[in-house]
């Protein structure tokens, strides 16, 4: 545990650009872990591959983590965060807590808008200069490295769901759409990778996102990257890789884009008559402060790009949004009761 803590702290502190073969190696390892997940926790699809759905442990605490967007410091604050006096890293190593990240590890957001504008100029100049994109890509890879180490060390207690930014090829198939907000983020990263890195690295990055699950279910909550555009059954979610619409529906749904009752119908599907006490959590669309409610208050959004919001859910307690959603930039710990 101490060695892992040191390794994670090093990723957080050091700024040097990682060696390509090193990145490829840790990706090969995490891809193997994602392929061999415990099938009680993550049932196999019809092709005998890891399915799209995670059944969480009903007896331990869960922390949901909002969109990361290259903020390694968010992940560092997460592992150092204390629940009842123990750090999350400690609790992970004792299998007493589980983490679900709602996805979107790539592409820095509003704080780095200018860097994206510079990166766009660099792309248009054929990357003759590439300082801005170097810096951005390095942060993306550091974030990926941090997440991969947590997954490799705690395969049953750490889960990262696919977001719409997990689209390294910037493709518009397989439930994905090309991405551009401040500039053409998806295209810039893809062209940069093709120019300076090997096909093997690209392939491993591509495999990684295809192996990520898309929905997790706990005691009294469901979580995915975005609001569900349409209702999908357990079987459809597990077999997500055979239906791009399922992937699209759980990763790309903006406000007012979901069909009526999609959230409630999924909660009813998982919790039947107890669904009244359940909630559906997601990131994707920013909230002005700690959280926003939609879908008759069943749907909770908690991603604020200027905060580091998480949700702490305990099997022994009702979910109180005002108490259980905290910003890691403002607090170092949490206690029950």
Tokens linked to 204: 């491993």
Cβ proximity to Mn ion, 106 vs 275, nearer residue: 106
- By rule CB under 5 A, what string of x and - marks binding of each residue 282-311 to Mn ion? --x---------------------------
- # chain residues binding Mn ion, by CB under 5 A: 4
- Phi, psi at residue 72, to the nearest 5°? -60, -35
* Bridge partners of residue 301, in order along the sequence: 282, 292
Q: Supply the minimum distance, in Å, between the C-beta of residue 84 and Mn ion.
A: 32
Q: Which stretch binds Mn ion (CB under 5 A): 111-119, 185-193, 211-219, 281-289?
A: 281-289
Contact range with Mn ion by CB under 5 A, out of 55-63, 143-151, 197-205, 278-286: 278-286
Q: Which is nearer to Mn ion, 68 or 89 (CB)?
A: 68
Nearer to Mn ion, 154 or 281 (CB): 281
| Contacting range for Mn ion; rule: CB under 5 A; set: 82-90, 102-110, 118-126, 314-322 | 102-110
Which has the closest alpha carbon to 79: 306, 300, 308, 287?
308
Applying CB under 5 A, does 107 fall inside the site for Mn ion? no
Cα(12)–Cα(4) distance, rounded to whole angstroms? Answer: 12
d(CA 147, CA 158): 9
Residues β-bridged to residue 64? 100, 311
| Smallest separation (angstroms) from Mn ion to the CB of 253 | 10
Looking at beta carbons only, is 61 or 104 nearer to Mn ion?
104
Q: At closest approach, how far in Å is the CB of 211 from Mn ion? A: 19
- Smallest distance from Mn ion to CB 165, Å: 6
1-40: contacts with Mn ion (CB under 5 A): none
Q: Verify binding: residue 51, Mn ion, rule CB under 5 A.
A: no
Q: Does 163 bind Mn ion (CB under 5 A)?
A: yes
What is the smallest separation between the CB atom of 120 and Mn ion, expressed in angstroms? 20
Query: Any idea what DSSP says for residue 52?
Result: S
CA gap 202, 189 in Å, rounded: 11
Report the distance separating Cα 280 and Cα 301, nearest Å: 9
Distance CA 278, CA 318 (A): 9
Q: How far is the CB of 43 from Mn ion (least distance, A)?
A: 25
CB of 163 to Mn ion, least distance (A): 5
Per rule CB under 5 A, is residue 104 in the interface with Mn ion?
A: yes
Biggest CA pair distance of the chain: 61
For residue 66, count other CB atoms closer than 10 A to its CB: 30
Residue 3, judged by CB atoms within 10 A of its CB (0-12, 13-18, 19+), counts as exposed
Tokens read off for 62: 């869960």
Among 164, 167, 170, 219, binds Mn ion (CB under 5 A): 164
User: For the chain, what is the radius of gyration of the CA atoms?
Assistant: 19
Task: Compute the least distance from the CB of residue 329 to Mn ion, in Å.
Answer: 20
Instruction: Considering the complex, state which of residue 157 and residue 308 has its C-beta at the smaller distance from Mn ion.
Output: 308
Specify the residue for token string 């807590």.
Answer: 97
Q: Which two tokens stand for residue 199?
A: 């096909």
Should residue 176 be labelled a site residue for Mn ion when binding is judged by CB under 5 A?
Answer: no
User: Which residues sit at the interface with Mn ion, rule CB under 5 A?
Assistant: 104, 163-164, 284
């Amino acid at each position: 545990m101490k060695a892992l803590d040191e390794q994670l702290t090093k990723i957080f502190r050091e700024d040097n650009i990682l060696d390509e073969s090193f990145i490829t190696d840790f990706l090969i390892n995490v891809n193997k872990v994602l392929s061999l997940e415990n099938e009680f926790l993550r049932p196999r699809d019809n092709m005998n591959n890891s399915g799209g759905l995670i059944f969480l442990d009903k007896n331990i605490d869960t922390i949901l983590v909002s969109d990361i967007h290259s903020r390694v410091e968010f992940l560092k604050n997460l592992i150092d965060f204390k629940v009842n006096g123990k750090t999350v890293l400690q609790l992970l190593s004792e299998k007493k807590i589980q983490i679900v990240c709602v996805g979107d590890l790539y592409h820095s957001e509003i704080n780095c808008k200018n860097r994206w504008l510079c990166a766009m100029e660099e792309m248009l100049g054929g990357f003759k200069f590439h300082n801005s994109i170097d810096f951005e890509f390095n942060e993306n890879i550091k974030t990926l490295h941090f997440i991969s180490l947590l997954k490799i060390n705690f395969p049953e207690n750490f889960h990262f769901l696919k977001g719409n930014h997990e689209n390294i090829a910037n493709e518009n198939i397989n439930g994905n759409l090309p991405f551009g907000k401040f500039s053409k983020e998806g295209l810039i990263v893809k062209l940069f990778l093709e120019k300076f890195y090997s096909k093997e690295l690209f392939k491993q990055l591509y495999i990684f996102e295809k192996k990520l699950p898309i929905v997790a279910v706990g005691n009294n909550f469901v979580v995915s990257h975005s609001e569900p555009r349409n209702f999908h059954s357990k079987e459809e979610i597990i077999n997500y890789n055979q239906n791009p619409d399922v992937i699209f529906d759980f990763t790309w749904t903006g406000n007012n884009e979901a069909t009526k009752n999609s959230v409630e119908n999924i909660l009813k599907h998982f919790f039947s008559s107890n669904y009244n006490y359940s909630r559906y959590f997601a990131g994707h669309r920013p909230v002005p402060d700690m959280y926003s409610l939609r879908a008759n208050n069943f749907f909770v959004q908690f991603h604020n790009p200027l905060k580091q919001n998480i949700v702490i859910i305990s099997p022994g307690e009702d979910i109180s949004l005002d108490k259980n959603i905290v910003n890691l930039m403002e607090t170092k710990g949490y206690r029950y009761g």
